[in-house]
């Protein structure tokens, strides 16, 4: 019988609770697998008692080196500034206090330079959803978020909108045949796409381990508030950026992010950031990585890869559905949030985090959705300095998921869908229209941030369900 050693047995010998236990188990089981457990534990104890004697040993040096490594200096806690930077708020009367509290914490970070709170803001982790924070030479993984590069993508087709009613089953099936919903959903057949050949997948161990799963999730849509839907695009006047004549068009709108790839990157680098950047407990999720540090550089590269991957997912979905429709889109508009950008602000390059906030630089197009029944908006940024060239990323929640589940009935939701002529597949009560703020009120609060150049009314909506 081959040797089997447990961490409990090594700790009983006096081994410290540290990575040396995993190293010792690996070394001893590989090299002394036909020795008795008693003999090997005795050997392990000898190494523990006098590690200096084994530093040149061909096998046991790996264990000994770990045991004699000098202890890492105790890292002192980083203090928050007494007075935080000032930040601008849009639609303050519609924003919960939890979001303000999180933004006040972020404003006190020594790396913070500028901030803003969007009218759809609500409490999250690290930065609030709808929070924008500009920092100096540092990136906050939880300031970016777990669903890195989550985005909206709209394809506009010159097809009769009446088909949405008369051929609804066709459009429902087109969505179902082109993507998958659910947090763990994976395709049996991986899609070919250049993003999966990115060299980072082969150079960074974390990404290498995530490559196979990411490939099988390419083109999937996830869960939560992610959706793929058909609806009516309304254009009232010609805009030189959007380049669509006034009228109604058939539109395909999708909302999803970087799936398990982004989530794993966020969690991995947040742990590293928290180990390197000790903040007070109430601000611990705002730990950062410096961009001249190896981990900071690698996170930045991985974050951008996850953002490109999320874009590739939308490209796959829209291309599949476009093929089924047999008509190329007249226009495609795409924007993302849950990301960090290097941008110039007051003559200085800063790292701008937009956690659930839409980039709204001058003449930049974007989509701000409402809910599964409420009209969304196609917008053009004004480059407003006060908002750090940002706008809301949606209507924003006014109820938590648990509150929505407890207070909204199935009948009320079905009545609301019927009232707006919306066909819903999936989509639980936690995503009911009543759980969201009034998108028109949100848009009124950011008239200085964006111009409205079009609208989108959902008609056939597909989500993951409860």
Residue 395 has pLDDT above 90, yes or no: yes
Percent of the chain with pLDDT over 70: 98
Query: Do residues 149 and 312 touch, judged by C-beta distance below 8 A?
Result: no
pLDDT at 19: 73
pLDDT at 424: 96
Element holding 9 (H helix, E strand): helix 7-13
Q: Quick one: which of 220, 225, 200 has its CA closest to 210?
A: 200
CA 51 to chain centre: 45
pLDDT at 25: 87
State the Cα–Cα distance between residues 183 and 189, nearest whole angstrom: 18
Residue 466 has pLDDT above 70, yes or no: no
SS3 328: coil
Looking at residue 436, the DSSP 8-state letter turns out to be: B
pLDDT at 1: 60
pLDDT at 189: 87
Contacting residues for 8 by C-beta, under 8 A, at least 6 apart? none
Which residue(s) pair with 257 in the sheet?
A: none
pLDDT at 465: 74
What average pLDDT is seen over the chain?
Answer: 94
Backbone phi and psi for residue 311, each to the nearest 5 degrees, phi listed first: -65, -40
Q: What is the pLDDT of residues 79-105, one digit of tens each?
A: 899 999 999 999 999 999 999 999 999
Q: Dump strand ranges (E) for 236-361.
A: 247-256, 289-290, 331-336, 339-345, 348-355, 357-359
State the Cα–Cα distance between residues 166 and 31, nearest whole angstrom: 71
Q: Quick one: which of 68, 65, 56 has its CA closest to 23?
A: 65
pLDDT at 294: 87
When pLDDT is averaged across residues 421-449 and rounded to a whole number, the result is 95
Query: What count of other Cβ atoms lies within 10 Å of the Cβ of residue 59?
Result: 13
Query: What count of other Cβ atoms lies within 10 Å of the Cβ of residue 308?
Result: 16
Residue 396 has pLDDT above 70, yes or no: yes
Q: Rounded to whole angstroms, what are the CA distances from 160 to 165, 243, 262, 369, 415?
A: 10, 19, 37, 22, 27
pLDDT at 3: 80
When pLDDT is averaged across residues 295-311 and rounded to a whole number, the result is 96
pTM value > 0.85: no
As a CATH number, domain 142-462 is: 3.90.1860.10
Query: Do residues 192 and 219 touch, judged by C-beta distance below 8 A?
Result: no
Dihedral sign for Cα 315, 317, 318, 324, please: positive
Q: Quick one: which of 185, 170, 181, 179 has its CA closest to 460?
A: 170
pLDDT at 7: 81
Q: Where in the chain is the domain with CATH 3.90.1860.10?
A: 142-462
Least confident stretch, 123-127, 325-329, 362-366 = 123-127
pLDDT at 190: 84
Longest CA–CA span in the chain (Å) reads: 84
Paired tokens of 393? 């990323």
State the Cα–Cα distance between residues 174 and 252, nearest whole angstrom: 11
pLDDT at 8: 85
Q: How would residue 75 be classed by pLDDT, with cut points 50, 70 and 90?
A: low
Q: What is the pLDDT of residues 34-52, one digit of tens each?
A: 889 999 999 999 999 999 8
State the Cα–Cα distance between residues 127 and 335, nearest whole angstrom: 20
Dihedral sign for Cα 12, 13, 18, 23, please: negative
pLDDT at 408: 94
Q: What is the pLDDT of residues 252-275, one digit of tens each?
A: 999 999 999 999 999 999 999 999
CA 345 to chain centre: 24
Element holding 105 (H helix, E strand): helix 97-107
Residue 74 has pLDDT above 60, yes or no: no
Residues belonging to the chain: 466
């Amino acid at each position: 019988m081959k040797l089997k050693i447990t961490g409990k047995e090594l700790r009983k010998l006096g081994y410290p609770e540290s990575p040396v236990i995993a190293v010792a188990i690996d070394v001893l089981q590989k090299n002394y697998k036909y020795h008795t457990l008693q003999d090997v534990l005795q050997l392990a104890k000898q190494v523990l008692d006098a590690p200096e004697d084994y530093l040149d040993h061909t096998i046991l040096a790996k264990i000994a080196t770990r045991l004699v490594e000098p202890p890492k200096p105790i890292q002192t806690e980083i203090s928050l500034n007494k007075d935080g930077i000032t930040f601008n708020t849009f639609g303050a009367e519609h924003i919960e206090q939890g979001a303000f509290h999180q933004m006040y914490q972020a404003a006190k970070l020594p790396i913070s330079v500028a901030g803003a709170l969007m009218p759809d803001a609500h409490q999250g982790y690290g930065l609030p959803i709808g929070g924008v924070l500009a920092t100096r030479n540092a990136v906050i993984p939880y300031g970016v978020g777990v669903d890195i590069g989550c985005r909206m993508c709209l394809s506009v087709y010159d097809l009769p909108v009446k088909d949405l009613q008369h051929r609804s089953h066709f459009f429902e099936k087109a969505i179902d045949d082109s993507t998958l919903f659910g947090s763990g959903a994976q395709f049996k057949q991986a899609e070919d796409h250049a993003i999966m050949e990115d060299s980072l997948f082969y150079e960074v161990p974390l990404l290498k381990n995530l490559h196979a799963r990411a490939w099988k999730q390419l083109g999937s849509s996830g869960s939560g508030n992610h959706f793929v839907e058909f609806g009516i695009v309304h254009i009232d006047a010609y805009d030189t950026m959007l380049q669509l004549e006034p009228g109604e068009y058939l539109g395909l709108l999708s909302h999803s992010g970087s799936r398990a790839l982004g989530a794993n990157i966020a969690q991995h680098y947040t742990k590293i950031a928290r180990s390197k950047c000790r903040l007070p407990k109430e601000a611990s999720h705002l730990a950062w990585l410096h961009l001249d540090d190896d981990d900071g550089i690698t996170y930045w590269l991985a974050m951008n890869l996850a953002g490109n991957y999320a874009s590739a997912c939308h490209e796959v979905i829209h291309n599949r559905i476009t093929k089924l429709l047999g008509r190329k889109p007249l226009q495609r508009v795409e924007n993302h949030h849950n990301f960090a950008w290097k941008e110039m602000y007051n003559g200085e390059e800063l790292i701008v985090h937009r956690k659930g906030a839409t980039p709204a630089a001058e003449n930049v197009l974007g989509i701000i959705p409402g809910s599964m029944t409420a009209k969304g908006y196609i917008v053009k940024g004004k480059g407003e300095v006060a908002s750090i060239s940002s706008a809301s990323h949606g209507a924003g929640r006014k109820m938590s998921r648990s509150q929505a589940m407890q207070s909204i009935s199935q009948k009320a939701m079905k009545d609301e869908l019927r009232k707006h002529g919306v066909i819903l597949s999936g989509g639980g009560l936690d995503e009911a229209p009543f759980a969201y703020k009034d998108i028109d009120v949100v848009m009124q609060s950011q008239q200085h941030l964006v111009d409205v150049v079009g609208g989108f009314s959902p008609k056939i909506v597909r989500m993951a369900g409860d």
